Amino acid sequence: MKDAVARLTPLGVMVLALLREDDMHPYEMIRLMRQRHDDRIVSLTNGTMYHTVGRLERGGLLAEVGTDREGNRPERTTYTLTDAGRQVVLDWVRREIPRIDRPVEFRVALAEVHNLERDEAVSLLRERETALAASLELHQGGRAKALAKGVPDQYLIEVEREGILLEAELTWLRELIARVADTDYPWGDAAGMPTDRYLAQREAARR
């Protein structure tokens, strides 16, 4: 399973996460991801989608469950999530949430963290908080030492910016942790029951 997690790309995770919702064909996946603006996070083309689906199938993370053809449209193959695929998404999210050196992977993991139990999600987010706080202290301390040694401020602008961004993310993260830790905050599959908007999205993506 470790190898499967290591080989997963952000797009691969998003494909597997989509199949947690229902069986789908790649064309539906593409349309649904575009409707949700997931292409803000990952590059999304027909070629990369079909390549990713093929690789996930060869890895045993998803499986073909049927094909259909409507009118003059090309034949479409529908896929389902395997037990291994379901588990590898969770393991990938667990690995990426605490890491602060992989921003793209973190954004995908954050989009899927609701698949974890509340307590585990809070624990992993707190690990990230600790890592961010340490990184912020390092940046702020390093800049202060450099200024004290007479390094011109103009050479430290990037360091200053990084520290400000870390401080802002840390503030946001602490607010998020408090929100998720609150048991009144809706969380998990039960909180995400299909809405009319979701069902309309799915119907539009199937066409």
Enumerate the domain spans of the chain. Answer: 2-89, 112-181
Task: Report pLDDT for 39.
Answer: 86
Q: Is the confidence at residue 117, as pLDDT, over 80?
A: yes
Q: Where are the alpha helices (DSSP H) in 66-102?
A: 83-96
Q: What is the pLDDT of residues 3-13, one digit of tens each?
A: 767 788 999 99
Rounded Cα–Cα distance for residues 175 and 207 (Å): 40
Per-residue pLDDT band for 199 (boundaries 50, 70, 90) equals: low
- Of 168, 172, 170, 145, nearest to 156 by C-alpha is 145
Terminus-to-terminus CA distance in the chain, angstroms? 35
Q: Please give the average per-residue pLDDT across 110-132, as a whole number.
A: 96
Burial of 110 (0-12, 13-18, 19+ CB in 10 A): middle
Rounded Cα–Cα distance for residues 29 and 205 (Å): 8
Task: Report pLDDT for 173.
Answer: 98
Task: Report pLDDT for 72.
Answer: 58
Task: Report pLDDT for 67.
Answer: 80
Rounded Cα–Cα distance for residues 25 and 64 (Å): 9
Mean pLDDT of the chain: 89
Per-residue pLDDT band for 48 (boundaries 50, 70, 90) equals: very high
Report the 10 Å Cβ neighbour count for 142.
13
Task: Report pLDDT for 66.
Answer: 84
Backbone φ and ψ for 42, nearest 5 degrees, come out as -125, 155
pTM of the complete model: 0.85
Q: Is the confidence at residue 204, as pLDDT, over 90?
A: no
Per mean pLDDT, which range of 130-134, 161-165, 195-199 is the poorest? 195-199
Task: Report pLDDT for 207.
Answer: 63
Report the 10 Å Cβ neighbour count for 31.
17
Task: Report pLDDT for 198.
Answer: 56
Which are the contacts of 54, defined by CB distance < 8 A and separation ≥ 6? none
Amino acid in position 7: R
- Of 31, 94, 84, 90, nearest to 62 by C-alpha is 84
Task: Report pLDDT for 170.
Answer: 97
CATH 1.10.10.10 fits 2-89, yes or no: yes
Report the 10 Å Cβ neighbour count for 88.
26
Q: What is the pLDDT of residues 159-174, one digit of tens each?
A: 999 999 999 999 999 9
Per-residue pLDDT band for 49 (boundaries 50, 70, 90) equals: very high
Per mean pLDDT, which range of 74-83, 110-119, 137-146 is the poorest? 74-83
Task: Report pLDDT for 99.
Answer: 96
